[in-house]
Amino acid sequence: AAGWRRRYLIILPVLMLPVLGGLVGSFVPHSYETRMSVLVQEPGRFNPFLEDLSVRSNLRDRMDGLRALLTSRHVLLGVAEDLGMIQPGASESEQARAVSGLSSSVSVQLIGQEMVELRYRARRPEGMDRVLARIGQRFIERVRGPEDASLRDSVAFLGGQIQDAQNALNQTEQALSSFKSTHAAQLPDMRAANLQRLAQMREQLADREVRLAGAEAEIASISSRLLQTDPVIGR
């Protein structure tokens, strides 16, 4: 009976509140949010040759600095210029308004140990992915700047060392080629052939020495006979 007496008090709010909520919701400005997860990982730590050259990310200790970096003028001004929000040569006030608008709409949050999540809020959903992608690209360039600079310097140093070693190797190969061409007969790979040729020449020498001894003996015999027959012809 009490519920029946208060039926209007119960039914009217049930009927009116959804309508009132719909009206309020239609007048309240909408807000959209898009997110990007970025894995900030140093590949040099997984390479045993570059492990000593890698720079630790330490994202948990750098979150305050990452938030300041994300909303800094260095990052957001470049994003505004890339997206055409400001024209080249814009005044300082226009640049400040563009940077302030982007700064109030972006945020960063740490997920795990090596992953951060970038968030971008806007009143319209059109183009939000393009804006966040550009912000993420600029942000990653700044975060990875020290590591990339260290690796670039290391690569340049190692490249110079490799080039010097290559030049020295080329000179050594050229000197070795000249030595081989000058002393081709004395090379170790010609030893067997040289020994065989030497043995053949010794055999030929022995044969010719025998023939020479026979010829000398024949000459001596002929000379002896000539002296016996005619001394004039012998002389």
Average model confidence (pLDDT) across the chain: 81
For every one of its 235 residues, what pLDDT tens digit does the chain have, with 9 covering 90 and above? 887 888 888 888 888 888 888 888 777 777 889 999 988 776 555 555 555 545 455 667 778 888 888 888 878 888 888 888 887 777 888 888 888 888 888 888 888 777 888 999 888 888 888 888 988 888 888 777 777 777 788 888 889 999 999 999 999 999 988 887 777 667 777 777 778 888 999 999 999 999 999 999 988 888 877 777 776 765 6
3-state secondary structure of 182: helix
**Alpha-carbon gap, residue 147 to 168, rounded angstroms:** 32
Residues 6+ apart with CB under 8 A from 70: 106, 107, 108, 118, 135, 139
pLDDT for 70-84, tens place per residue? 888 878 888 888 888
Token duo for residue 140: 């990653």
pTM of the predicted structure, to 2 decimals: 0.50
Which amino acid appears at position 25 of this protein? G
3-state secondary structure of 183: coil
pLDDT for 13-55, tens place per residue? 888 888 888 888 777 777 889 999 988 776 555 555 555 545 4
φ, ψ of residue 104 to 5 degrees: the values are: -75, -10
φ, ψ of residue 90 to 5 degrees: the values are: -65, 155
SS3 annotation, 39-50: ECCCHHHHCCCC
Residues 6+ apart with CB under 8 A from 52: none
